Amino acid sequence: MDRSASVAAVRITRPGRGRARSSLYRENREKFEMELQLKNTSTVDQHRPQQNALLAALSSEVCERLAKDLELVPLTLGQVLYESNETMSHAYFPIDCIVSLLYVMKNGESAEIAVVGNEGMIGIALFMGGDSTLSRAIVQNAGYAYRLKAQVLKDEFHAGGALTRLLLMFASALITQMVQTAACNRHHPVDQQLCRWMLLSLDRLPSTRISMTETLIGNMLGLKPADVKKVARALERAGLIQYDAGEITVLDRDGVAKRSCECYGVVKKESDRLLPLAVEISQMKH
């Protein structure tokens, strides 16, 4: 059974019609909206496991083995995939959404430690020796992901095949991002942090628009909504972005990159080195 045949066997949880999709999700995927309307095809035809770099790197044999267990699910803005210390029931492989990993303090305040898109997966604790983690996983940009039951992922990892190496490479890249984010949050000004965060988000999105709320952005960066607005307006006055209550459209990516600190470049270089297929998929989107 070849890869294309195995994809057709994937189970799918179908979302509701357009009314059930949030406007934020539709805006994040504006590049594809006209195509979806013209073709009028089903969700299963629009999404494939190979839109995730880790799944795309697997052989046809492995794809066939996993196909019956992969489930396509819609993820909405602000949806929590797991909480701190909560046992994970599934691993998630994003294809056109972004999931933020947050560390939440006892007083409820939080700060982002990493973002994950179609270059990776959510749930590294499942194969790193535990079933839970101290972080919270929350959807930063709505879209779709394939999910896999925790035990299926564990069995595949312990088999020691190709997926094992891919997961370990991704975990290494994710740890680099976490370390660099911690250093950035401590040593760099807020405008540079916001630029780093926007660049990492754009690498994982099909458009130049980041659809969120000021509260969610504040949770990511450890800022109050008013402070988020202040920094975003400064970037808007500089002609780098267009901003409207959490809705960010990047007008000058090169300018944002120049305004950012070195942390974005460090994270991207290491991710590109460890996950080269993610680079190819990103280039195909833009």
Output 6 or 197, whichever has higher pLDDT: 197
- Give the pLDDT of residue 215: 87
Does the residue 220 lie in any domain? Answer: no
What are 102-133's pLDDT values in tens digits? 998 888 888 899 999 999 999 999 999 888 88
Specify if 20 maps to a domain.
yes
pLDDT at 18 over 60: no
For the segment 205-228, the average pLDDT, to the nearest whole number, is: 87
- For residue range 254-272, list pLDDT tens digits in order: 999 999 999 999 999 999 9
SS3 of residue 101 by DSSP: strand
Q: Would you place residue 43 in the very low, low, confident or very high pLDDT band (cuts 50, 70, 90)? A: low
With a cut of 50, say whether residue 1 has pLDDT above it: no
CATH code for the domain of 120: 2.60.120.10
| DSSP structure string for 139-188 | EEE-EEEEEEEHHHHHHHHHTTSHHHHHHHHHHHHHHHHHHHHHHHHHHS
pLDDT the model gives residue 286 = 52
Residue 71's alpha-carbon distances to 44, 101, 156, in angstroms, are 10, 22, 16
Domain count, the chain: 1
| Dihedral in degrees, nearest 10, Cα atoms 269, 195, 182, 144 | -80
Whole-angstrom distance, CA of residue 244 vs CA of residue 223:
17
Q: How far apart are CA 107 and CA 115, in angstroms?
A: 23
**3-class SS of residue 270:** helix
Q: What is the mean pLDDT of the chain?
A: 84
Share of the chain above pLDDT 70, in %: 81
At residue 254, the pLDDT reads 97
Instruction: Indicate whether 125 belongs to any domain.
Output: yes
> Is residue 278 one of the residues assigned to a domain?
no
pLDDT at 20 over 70: no
Strands (E), the chain: 11-12, 71-75, 80-82, 90-94, 98-104, 110-116, 135-141, 143-149, 209-211, 241-244, 247-250
The b-or-e profile of 220-241 (16+ CB within 10 A means b, else e) is bbbbebeebbebbebbbeeebb
For the chain, what is the radius of gyration of the CA atoms? 18
Does the predicted model carry a pTM greater than 0.85?
Answer: no
Pairwise CA distance, residues 169 & 274, whole Å: 6
- For residue 46, tell me if it sits in a domain: yes
3 band by pLDDT with thresholds 50, 70 and 90: very low
Q: Would you state the pLDDT for residue 107?
A: 85
Per-residue pLDDT for 78 more than 70? yes
The model's pLDDT over 52-67, given as tens digits with 9 standing for 90+, comes to 999 999 988 888 889 9
Residue 28 falls inside a structural domain: yes
Q: Which domain holds residue 21?
A: 3-162
Which tens digit of pLDDT belongs to each residue from 137-146? 999 999 999 9
42 occurs within a structural domain = yes
d(CA 266, CA 269): 5
How far apart CA 106 and CA 220 sit, in angstroms, is 16
Q: Is residue 251 part of a domain?
A: no
Nearest to residue 26, comparing CAs of 139, 115, 141? 141
